[in-house]
Every structure is written in C-alpha cells, then in structure tokens.
Structure 1
C-alpha cells in the first residue's frame, strides 16, 4: 500500500502513515474540517522509490491545484516526541513535477542534521524510522496559527493559549514574524489583534473537542480562510507539559513542593524506589513533628504542603523552614502561594495544624535533649553518632539463611528502624545545621553572608569529603597504571575491573568503603558504584589530569580549613567588640558548627547501608522471578512496588506488560531537563507565575553559596558517569548530589539550577574553597560548554563573557 486517502488513516496505522497523517485521519473521521488529501505511505519510503503513477492519480483526484506537502515520520507527533520543525514542509506546490520534488525533499529531511540530532537525544533508533508524506489541498488563510489546549508556559490545564498572525501559519511556527498571543481562560474579553472574539470562542470549543477525543492536551495548527472558515491542519500531543498531580479526593486547589532536589536528584525515581522513599521521607518528617504526604508526580517526589499552607500556626514559619534544605526558589514560590486567597487558613487545616502541633510537642522533648547534649559535648555526640552508623551497617546485612524469594521478601517486609540509633544520628546533624544557620541573624550588620560562608568552609568530619579525598589518594598512588587509567574509556575500565582483568589500582579498597554510594543513590532502582564503577573511573581520570600540586583537593581542603579558622577568630573578635552578647553567642555557635556541621552527610551515608542490602535482596528475588518466566530480566523488579513483587512471588502474578509501560515512561522522563519547583493541582508551574528579573549584560543571577570569584571555561554536565572536567573548568549542572562531588575536586567553581545553601553541593564546594552560585534558572541551557564565565560566589552572579 503506497498511497491512501487521508480519510482512511487511523490511529493504529502510525507505522504506515506516520504520526501526522494518523492524527489528521482521526480528525477527518470525527467530522472536523481538514483539507482533503492523501498520504504517500512509509512502505513506499522503505522501498525507496517514489510511486509516481499512484501519486499523480491521487493528485488529479484533488483537482491538481496548489497543495501543501508535509513530512509524517513514523516517529513524529508521538506522546513524548513531537519532532516539531525537525522535518520539512513545502507549501503552495503546483504541478506533478513540483509535487514529486517536494515529496523527495520530505524524504531527505528524515536524515537532516537537526532530525538526526533530535532522534539521538531521544534515543530513537534511526533504522526503525520511516517517512510517510501528507499531501493536502492548500488552504489560503487570512489568518493562521497554533492552538495549545493547555497553557504550555504555566502548565495550567484550564487555560488554552493561541498564537496567531495574518497569512500563512509558517510565520507563527517558524518564529519569523511578530504574533498575537491570547490566553483563553473562559473569561470573555474584547479581542485585539488579528482574531475576533468569535474566532477565539470557536478555537476554544474546537480545542476542547480535540483534546477530549485524543485524551491529552494537544498542539493544533489551524487556518481561517477568506470566508471565515476554520480549518485544522495538524493535531499532536503537547510533549513539554509536566504531568498532572494525581487525583486525591482532597479539597482543591492543592500545592506540591518538589523534594527530590534536596537529595540532588531531578531524574525520575524508579517505582520500587518511589514506593520505599515515599514512606521513608514521610516517616522522617513525622519524627520532626511535620506531617506531609509524598506524592509521585512524573516520577518525582513532591510533598503536599496544602495543609501546612492553610494552617495558621504552620504557615507563619513555613517559608523560613524551607531556607535550610530547599533554598530561595522554593521560598519564593511558597510566598506566592501563601499570598493566594485560595490558600487562606481554613478550620480543617487549623485542626490538622493543632494535631501536628501535638506531635511536634512529643518530638520536642527528644529534640531538646539531643540538641543540648550535642552542644554541650560535641566530640562525644560525634563519637556516638559514628558508632550508630557502624551499628546500622552491621545490622543491615541479611541473615545467611535466606534461601527463597519468599524468605527474602519476608526479611524486607519485616525491617524497621531503630529509634535509639536514629536519635544518635539525627540530633547531632540537626544541631550542626542549626549552629551553622543561626549566626547569620545574630551577626546581621556585623558580618556579611560571604564572611560566614568562609567560616563554614573546610569543615571536618564530612564522610563525602573523606570519600573524595580517598579517591584522590588512589589517583596519587596510580604509579605505573596512570596512563592506562587516562587512556582507557571509563566504561571499559569498569568492565575489566568487574571481570577481574584490571591490574590492582586500589579500587577494591575504595569500593569496599564507598561502593554502596552512587548518583541518585537514594533510589533503590539505581546501580551502586560497586555494581558499576564507571563514574568512579571517570572521576579518577579527572584527578590524574591535575598537575599543579596546589590544586590538589587535599591542599585545597587544608587551605579552606585554615582560612575558615582564621576568619572565625577575626569575626568573633569583631563581633564581641560591637555586640558583646550576640558576638559571644555567634562565636559559640560557629565553633560548634565547625565541630558538627560536617556530619550532615553522615545520616544519608548510614541510610545507604540498608538500601544497598534491600537492593541486593530485590535483585535476587528478581532473578528468581526471571527464571520463573515472570520477568524479562532480573532488574525489572525495580519497576514494581513491594506489594506487586509480593504478588509475583506468592501468587505468580505476571507484571511484564506493566513493567514495559513503566520503563517507557521512565525513559521519557529521563530526558526531561527541567522539573517544576512547585505545582498546583491544576498543573500550574508556580514559578512560571513569578516575575523574572531581566539578565543584564550577560549576567545570570542566583544565590551565592560559597565565597570566591573565578573565571574559567564552562563545562555543562548532565551525567557525571562519564564527565570529563579539566582542572579549573566551571562545572554547570541542574543539580548535584554526593555522587557528583568527585567532580568538584578538579572544578574551579560550581553553578547549579537548584539547591539550598546548606545542601550537599554548596557544602562540599565551601569545604574545598571553590566559589558556588546556586538557583540559577536555566543555567544548563543558557551556558554552553567552552564559554568563558565568571562565577562570583559573594554577589551570587554568573557572567557569561
């Protein structure tokens, strides 16, 4: 079948007619006004010969007048890949010679540089893609444009957006002309520009019908001819929208804050990781007297803060509480939410707030004891904490008598937390964070934030710093293996290590201590370094490129520590002269911070031991289910929940179809580069509603998180596993977690899109004495690798030269 009428194309014929033709065929068969036409199928493209006779016959049936010739690839207009503008469209084609040439041009555009790059970015196999071509009678529009049935800028599903311009719609989609922009929110307004109120009403009604038919928000190209008739030229899914929060049955609207970036993780969490993390985070917050439900939105961890926002007691301190771990972007969006009358205090929330207050009082006694003990005897508190960490490591190991999948599952389902160990670990960390955070208000007008950041640099007792320095020592001892580690690809080194064919470079000792770590390490579904040490070998190669001993991380850390101690002494002397009482208090807290704040990483480090064992047992269960024919591969179990795994183990339930669907969604979400800081239940990206400060002279504004000023070439990194960072380069990333920190040892400065001053990345940056600016919106897209940039940690700016 080489040529078919457009009206014959259906949604299940994408492999034959491509996404565009399938969508148009659906619209025609449902009665929408679509220009008549035909489709040259992907089968003709597969054969590689244009079926001239069939095309000419179909063209003559159209009347042989002007036509539009549009690409319709089989990997186009899909739910996760629109291919907008990636392949060619030729308008006002007249005559068979021009028509055949236009079809050939569309075929050729399948292999254009931009289309190839687009497929590469979405991991679409080039060999599987074919090109169908749509030929339609040409509409001569008086006005044309694009209708989005959900607002693509704010994410709101109850708003539509229209861009329109006189003449051909290419002026709109190509960005070649000034367009009129309309937001349709159901409120009647006098229309200005090229569309009348009647036009807008008809577009809104059409959009509601089209979205209802396809079951998802649509990007619709349209044209209105000289007689005022509306024609639909294309309808495809809007692929950029972040998924809607799930229905909860609770009063609307609701507000959700993204929690994953606190752990330096914006990638989607696997379903098994999500099922454990949701309960763990809720339990951790409950231990602090805060009740927050964790919601899965787009595979990310969002906390439902609605009740806290509507509670009179909680809302007063909510914005301040977000400063420590969530940072200024989260604070800004929450201030906006609290000013919204829809989130005013309610009686129900007040009652819930009272209940939370009671829980907080129960927690307060333990907190007071733990914090006072740590303040009074920080060294003893630190010793107790590391003893508790070691106990957690030992207790996390599974008993040796687990034989069957059912045994392993019972072990996992029966695990619980030890409250005494949790207290021994939690309160010294909380004390250190408070001791680091409180002096800023005590020293207001006496010390700048930059000076306080300096005092908090080079902090001892940080397990992540100790890990990075251990890897540095491994690099220093590479000896005869130095060139091997530099010249061999990290993934090949990892494979050789796991096969046992790599010379002894000291990796076994490092992984014995730190192999339970990794990027996005709180997700059970992500391999640990012990399973795949590729990122460790990549970092090792970066260290071996450092030739100046003064740039070695050991010396950088020692300099940062010495600078911090000297700055602390000077700051305390100055503060005591100007404000004796406050100066004394601030000095005491800062000294306690230097003794305890470095422990911040230890809680997560300890929690990774039981996670490692849980993952190991799950993979063994997965192997059994794979052997029983219930899983395609053992690690498919990470795309189930614990309850679903239970059903497979005990009732032989086959979840393979579910797993395949979830893996596809997970792959799609892995490609998403931006994740909203906060969402409303209607899909609104709250940050999109905030005013944006204009950039001046190439200067990007964020928040200074580590002192210093450095100029160097940028290195934009999305995946640390194979990142090559030359000494002195400025590391630019969406976010970072402890798995990224080995890259800091060679970086000259750090720039991130998210974060908080006390989060992992800035903390480690301070301790190495490298400047850091966080919360720079769209940094990874605004800055390109190789561009010269200046990072000013005091001013909180990044200047692109």
Structure 2
C-alpha cells in the first residue's frame, strides 16, 4: 500500500503511515472535523519512489488545489518524543509536480542534522525510522494556532493554553511572530485578541473532549476558516509533562512531595522495588508522627502531605520538618502553600498515629541511653552491621519457597533496633544546634564544626576505595587505559590482578547508585562505577590532595571550630553555652552514624534482589522472561500471579522497559505536585539572576574555583582532580567521585542528606538545589562555588574545554580557600 486516504487508515498502522497520519486517523475515527487528505506510506519511502498514478488520483480527489504536505515519520508524535519542527512541512503547495517535490523534500528532512540530533537525544536508533508523508487540503484560515489541553509550563491539567494569530497559524507554530496567549481555566474568558469568547470556549471544550477520549493531554493544531468552522489539523501527546498523580478519591486539591531527591535519587524506581520503598517510607514518616499515603508518580515516590498541611497542629512544624528532612526546595513549596486558602487549616483532618505512640517509650529510652554512653552505642551499631554482613543466608531451591521470602517485608531484623536509636540521636543532636547556637554561631560555622565527622560508613567506604587505588598503582596503565565496562567484565571473569577489590566488594558490594531500589544491580554484580572511581583516584598525583589528608584537614578544622563555639557560647550565654557544648560534642560522636541505618538495611535489599534474580532465572528457563533481570519490571503481585501459572508476562515487561527507559531520560523531576499535575515550584516567585550567578542553598562550607565537570551518571564518570562536580543529585553511590572533586553543585537535595553530608566530611564546598545546574553549566566552564553564600558563579568569559585551567591550580584553589 503506497497511498492511503486518511479516512481509511487504522490508527494502529503507525509503522505504515507514521505518527502524524495515525494521529489524524484517530481524530477522524472520533468524529472530529479534519481536512480531507491522503498519506504516502513508508512502503513508498522504502523503495524511494512515489507511485505517480496512485498519487495523482488521490490529489485529484482533493480537488488538485493548494495542499499542506507534512512529514509523518514512524518516530514522530510519540508519547515521549514529539519531533515538533524537526522534519519539514510545506504549506499552500499547488500543482502535481510541486506537491511531488514537496513529498521528496519531506523524505529528505528525515536525515537533517536537527532531526538526527533529536533522535540521538531521544534514544531512537536511526535505522529504525521510516518516513510517510501526509497531503491535506489547505484550510483558508481566518485565525489559527495551537491548543494545549494542559498547561505545558505548570503541568496543570485544570487549565488549557491557547496561542492564536490571524492567518494560517505558521507564525504560532514556528515562533516567528507574537501570538495572542490565553490560559483557559473554566472561568468566563474576556474579550481580547483574535479569539472571541465563544471560540475560546469551543476550543476548551474540544481540548477537554480530546484529552478524555485519547487518554492523555494533547498538543492540538487548529484553524477557523472564514465561515467560522473549526478544523483540527493535528493532535499528539504533550511530551514534556510529568505524569499527574493518580486519583485519590479524596477532596482536593492535594499536595504530593517527592522523596527521592532527599535520598539523592531522581531516576525512576523499578516496579519490583516500589512496594518495599512505599512501606519503608510510610514507616519512617510514622515514626515522626505523620501518617502519609505514599504513591507512585512517574516511577517516583511521592507522599500526600495534604492532611498535614490542613491540620492546625501539624502545619506549624511542617516547614521545619521540610527544611531538615526534605530540603530547601520542599520547604519553599510548603511555605508558599501555607498561605494558599485551599490549604487552610481544617479541624479533624489528623489521622491518629498509634504506631508513633507505641514506640515513644522505647524511643525516649534509646535516645537518652545513647546520649549518656555514646561510645557504647556506637559499638552496638557497628557490631550489628558486622552481624548483618556475615549472617549466613540460605536460599531455598524452588521458586515456590523463594517467593514468600521476597514477599515478606514486615519482619525487620531484630539487630536493626541496635542501630535505630543511635542514628536517630545523632540526627537530633545535629538538628538542635542551630537553635541552641542562635545569635552565637552562623550556619556556616555550625557546618564547619560538623565537617570531617568520624564513624561515617560512607566515608569509610570511600577511604577504603582510596586504599585500593594506592595498592593498584602498579597497574595504573591498565586501569586508566581500559574502559570501566571492560574492567568490570574482566574482574567478574577473574582475569584481573588482585588489587584488593574483592575484599572491598565483600564489604561494600551491596551498594550502588540508587541503592534503595531492589531492582538496581549492586556493585558486586556490576562494578563498572567502582572502576571509574578508581581511575579518578589514580589521577591524583599530589599526596597532599589525597582524600585521607583532605578528610584529616576537615576534621582538624571542625575540632578547632567546635572549641571556638564552645568558648563563645559559654562567654555570651553561660547556661545555654554549657548545653550547646554538650550537644556539639555529642554531635561529633554520633552524627556520623547517620549513614549507618541505610547501610545496614541494604543487606536485606541485597538478599531480596538475589532471590528475585533466582526467581527470574527460573522464569527465563521456562520461557516466560527474556532475561533473569527482567523480573524487576513486575510488581510482587504480578510476580506471584506468574509463578502461580497466571500467564506470560513478556508483553507487560516490554512495556515497562520502554516506560522505564523513557523516564530514565527525564532531566527534571518536580519536587512537589498538586493533584491536577501542577508543578508547585512554577508558582513560586522567580529568582533574580544576573545571568552569571546561580543561587541555591549552601550545604558545605568553603569556596572553590575550578573547571566544571557535568556528570549525569556515575557509572563511567571522569572527574579530574580539582574539577567542580555538577550533578543532578548525589547519593552514597556517587560519593566516590567526591574524593577528586574540588567542589559540589547539585540540582536537588537537603542539607542533611547523604551527598552534602559527605561533602562536609571531606571539606569540599557544596551548593545544592541549584535549578537547572546541569543544563546551565557546561563542562569546562570555570565556576566558583561559595558554600557560605549558597551561590555558583560563572567566570565572565568562560573557557570551555579540558584545558580551561590546570587541574593543579583548581585543586590548590579548593584546598587553600576551603576554610573561608
């Protein structure tokens, strides 16, 4: 089939007619008014010729007058890639020869530089894409434009957005001229611009209808002809929107706050990991007296904080809770919404938390005992961790016996209780310091006193890897000259010399980036990120810049600052000063334990993942999965159904893999959403900027200047000594990169989260929550990070390239100014 009438196309024939034609066919099937036309299919494109007789017959049926000739590639108008403007469109083409030439020009546009670059960014293989072409009768437009059935800037599904201009609408689509802009929220539209109120209402009604019937927000091109008739020229999914929260069945609007950025995790959670994390987060929040519904939005974990916002008592401490546990971005959102009348306090919204009440006596005893005997509490913590590490685990031989162990998530190891209260105590004593030292010490001074913190398992892990790098020095050429993936494969095959890595992985191999997700491979399975970090360490040639010495300098500065703050506090406020001194010393003894709870809990996740892979291997042997690791794309109930003979899951797995890959490419994740999909941060007042200075939140004291290194994935990251690491986020799996970095900039996080905590331990300045940092800063640009001011400043004339500044100069800058 080389030529098909649009009315004869099945919307499922995307591979034959491309995305645009399939979308138009769907509109026709729904009874919408679409200009007549036909499609030159991908079969004609594959042969490289247009069947002239068929083409001319179809053109004659349109009246042989002016037409629009539009590309319709198979990788076009997709749910996650619109290809808007990437391939060509020709309007008001008339005459058979000119229309044929326009069809061939559309074919050629498949291989333009812009279309090729777009496919590469979207992860679409070039050899899988074919081009069809749509030919439609031109609408003699009086006014035309674009309708978004959801607000593409805020994400709100409660608003339609329309851009309109007189004429055929090309100025609107191409952005060549100013258009009249309308935000339609259901209230009566005013009289202004080129759209009458009646037409505005009609467009909103069409948008609501299309969004409902097509199952997703739509980007619609439209035109009114001179008779006042509305024609739809295209409808495709809006690809830039973050998914909206699922319907809760409860009164709205509702507020959802994202949890992953606190853990340094922006990537989506695998389906198999979601249930464990939901239960874990709900339990953590219950321990601080909050009953929160945790939901999956776009593969990320969000908590419904609406009841806490509306509760007259809870709302008073919610801002402080956000600042400590969720970060400054979430704090700003909550502060903004506290003044929103839709979240005004309402009596009777609190849900009684009996779990928190039941654990209160145990919590008091645990905290007081830890404060009284911190060394003994620490010893119990590390003894419990070692017990979990060495605990023998037997895996049953059959899937029927393995699956119940994977499903069992409510029986925590008794040994974890020995860890819980010392960790909680360390967090509390650090959190109380700003209040105790108010008017006596600045936040920057307090952070200095909390730097170089001992007893941190993540720091110990990074320093252990540094020792592996020192032992590996004789093999420097091999480790620097071979890719991390090749080294990882050779290690797993037992083909590398012994450099101490096996012992390292025996202790820390259960870790990885995004390690709270049981669906993610551990370092012991996929050690490429470890080899990438080793290569970075081997580039450190100045012993004084070794992480062990940097950590020691941070520790010395912290002890000196602690002594100064104690003296200052006792001199200015004797009673409170003695209390502040006690908490400062306890913070140095206990706050480093913050990482211990998560570290210990990862052993259970390691065992859970191993058993999942055993189940996956058996399902693969039965022909039910392509790979054992595909088991991560099934939820536990789905896995139970498959094991019990409930069908073939491969189609579900393939769909989930595609969705997961799409979400992995997403660069930004909203920190807070309303129930209609509104990204709350878009409602906040815009930050002022001079174009060179970006404002975030200072999280680790100091000031450093050096070339930026933008890293989005730690798996094969290359960071020269002294470069400023610019990343979307950071969790413990990222921290080995800190050992060579001169400073840290992230787009998300909280001051007390893992990444900033580790940055303070090493004495490198850190600024977190810098919006769009990985997009606005380029690798090689010289930047200055000021942890005290919370700013990142680009040089006036940035030098881009690896030779922007000698690494040794950058290292010296970060070292020499770290205490400023």
CA offsets 1:676-695 (integer angstroms, 9 cap, x no match): 11112222222221111122
Task: Sort the Cα spacing of 1:332 and 1:391 in 2 relative to 1 into closer, same or farther, 3 A.
Answer: same
Look up the SS of the partner of 1:142 in the other structure: strand
- Taking a change above 3 Å as real, the CA distance of residues 9 and 281 of structure 1, as seen in their structure-2 partners, is same
Cα distance in 2, alignment partners of residues 166 and 710 from structure 1: 54
CA distance in 2, matches of 1:460, 1:331: 29
Match for 2:657 among 653, 663, 673? Answer: 663
SS of residue in 1 equivalent to 2:250: coil
Q: Which of 450, 453, 457 lines up with 2:451 in the alignment?
A: 457
The match for 2:567 among 563, 566, 573 is 573
2:179 aligned partner:
179
CA contact (8 A) 2:263 2:749 kept: no
Aligned partners of 2:450 and 2:588 also within 8 Å? yes
Q: Does 1:376 align with 2:372?
A: yes
Matched, 1:103 2:103: yes
Distance 1:212 1:800 in 2: 46
Cα shift at 1:160: 0.6
Matched, 1:495 2:489: yes
* Aligned-residue offset at 1:287: 3.4
Q: TM-score scaled to structure 1, two decimals? A: 0.96
Is residue 2:145 matched to residue 1:145?
yes
Aligned residues of 1:242 and 1:683 also touching (Cα < 8 A): yes
- Cα offset, 1:798, TM superposition: 1.1
Match of 1:731 among 719, 725, 733: 725
How far the C-alpha of 1:275 sits from its partner, in A, is 1.4
In the TM superposition, 1:465-504 aligns within 5 A as 465-504=459-498
Residue from 698, 705, 715 that aligns with 2:709: 715
Matches within 5 A, 1:271-670: 271-350=271-350, 352=351, 355-356=352-353, 359-395=355-391, 397-399=392-394, 402-414=396-408, 416-418=410-412, 420-651=414-645, 653-670=647-664
Question: SS of the counterpart of 1:542?
Answer: helix
How much has 1:139 moved relative to structure 2?
2.8
Q: TM-score, normalised by structure 2?
A: 0.94
Change (3 A) 1:526 1:418: closer
How far off is 1:168 after superposition? 3.8
Q: Deviations over 1:261-314 (max 9, x none)?
A: 121111111111001111122223323433222111111111121222222221
Query: Counterparts of 1:725 and 1:180 in 2: how far apart (Å)?
Result: 47
How many Å apart are 1:416 and its aligned residue?
4.8
Aligned to 1:593, the other structure's residue is in SS state: helix
Contact 1:716-1:732 at 8 Å conserved across structures = yes
Aligned residue in 2 for 1:5: 5
Inter-partner Cα distance in structure 2 for 1:798 and 1:239: 31
- List per-residue Cα deviations over 1:733-772 (Å, max 9, x = no partner): 1111000011111111111111110001101111111111
Mapped to 1, the partners of 2:703 and 2:181 lie a distance apart of 42
Name the stretch that deviates more: 581-590 or 72-81: 581-590
**Does the 8 Å contact 1:428/1:599 carry over to 2?**
yes
**Partner Cα distance (1:593, 1:453) in 2:** 11
Runs of at least 5 residues in structure 2 that lack an aligned partner in the other structure: 796-820
- The residue that corresponds to 1:38 in the other structure is 38
Secondary structure at 1:629's aligned position in 2? coil
CA distance, structure 2, for counterparts of residue 518 and residue 315 of structure 1: 36
User: In 2, Cα distance between the equivalents of 1:237 and 1:84?
Assistant: 11
2:785 aligns with one of 757, 772, 791: 791
Distance in 1 between the 2:8 and 2:638 partners?
41
CA contact (8 A) 2:416 2:600 kept: no
Secondary structure of 1:194's aligned partner:
coil
- TM-aligned CA deviation for residue 475 of structure 1: 1.2
Tell me which moved more, 623-632 or 734-743: 623-632
- Determine if contact 2:473/2:538 at 8 Å carries over to the other structure: no
CA distance in 1, matches of 2:37, 2:408: 64
Q: How far apart are the structure 1 equivalents of 2:638 and 2:201?
A: 47
Greater Cα offset, 500-509 or 128-137 = 500-509
**Deviation string, structure 1 residues 556-577 (Cα, Å, up to 9, x no partner):** 1111111111111122222222
Cα distance per residue 1:166-199 (max 9 Å; x no partner): 3342322232222222111110031322222122
Q: CA deviation at 1:414?
A: 4.6
1:234 paired to 2:230: no
Deviates more, 1:713-722 or 1:110-119: 110-119
What is the rounded CA distance, in whole Å, between the counterparts of 2:701 and 2:269 in structure 1? 33
Output the CA distance in 2 between the equivalents of 1:313 and 1:361. 16
The answer on whether the counterparts of 1:218 and 1:235 sit within 8 Å (CA) in structure 2 is: yes
**1:692 is paired with a residue of what secondary structure?**
coil
**How big is the shift at 1:650?**
3.3
Contact 2:149 2:217 in 1 (8 A): yes
